């Protein structure tokens, strides 16, 4: 079985290259981008903030590590937070809070122990894209730092893909 190249742990340089590609696309398509993070605990925001001219296109992010923050600030319905429903609510609420036309939200379980009966490596990505929202689930292999790195890279890839299809 051939592994998906997107599932391997990316290098720091690879992630930064993706962020630079996103910066270019954001400028070309007049995008404003926001993030909501749980398991990545600000690592995604840190990567985006280092990209060229990030102050022009990156609105900011919300780090909602605790369930209560997700429920109160990001309007996640009470219940499981490693879920499609949580990812969708996080993406929409963050876009609204930040005034962004594109947002990604990540919620999941990096491990090493399961949470909410979800296996370690389970991640939900919510995306707000010019008024519509959708979510995707991925399961990454590895220890918690590997899952975190893969989640950050996948989040940036999602933003790049959406920016490419934006058309401005």
Where are the domains positioned within the chain? 11-166
Looking at residue 10, its pLDDT comes to 81
Looking at residue 131, its pLDDT comes to 97
**CB crowding 84-103: b at 16 or more within 10 Å, else e:** bbbbbbbbbbbbebbebbbb
**Domain 11-166 homologous superfamily, CATH:** CinA-like (3.90.950.20)
Of the candidates 153, 144, 125, 118, the one whose C-alpha atom is nearest the C-alpha of residue 4 is 153
pTM to 2 decimal places? 0.93
Per-block average pLDDT, block size 10, for the chain (168 residues)?
55 94 98 98 98 98 97 97 98 99 98 89 98 98 95 98 85
């Amino acid at each position: 079985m051939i592994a998906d190249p997107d599932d391997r742990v990316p290098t720091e340089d690879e992630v930064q290259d993706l962020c630079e590609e996103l910066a270019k696309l954001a400028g070309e398509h007049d995008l404003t981008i926001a993030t909501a993070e749980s398991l990545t605990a600000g690592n995604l925001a840190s990567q985006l903030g280092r990209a060229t001219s990030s102050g022009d296109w990156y609105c900011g992010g919300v780090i909602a590590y605790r369930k209560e923050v997700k429920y109160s600030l990001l309007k996640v319905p009470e219940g499981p937070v490693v879920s499609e429903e949580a990812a969708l609510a996080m993406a929409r609420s963050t876009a609204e809070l930040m005034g962004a036309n594109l947002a990604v939200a990540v919620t999941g379980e990096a491990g090493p122990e399961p949470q909410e009966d979800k296996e370690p490596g389970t991640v939900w990505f919510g995306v707000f894209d010019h008024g519509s929202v959708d979510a995707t689930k991925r399961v990454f292999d590895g220890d918690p730092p590997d899952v975190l790195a893969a989640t950050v890279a996948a989040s940036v890839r999602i933003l790049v893909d959406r920016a490419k299809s934006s058309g401005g």
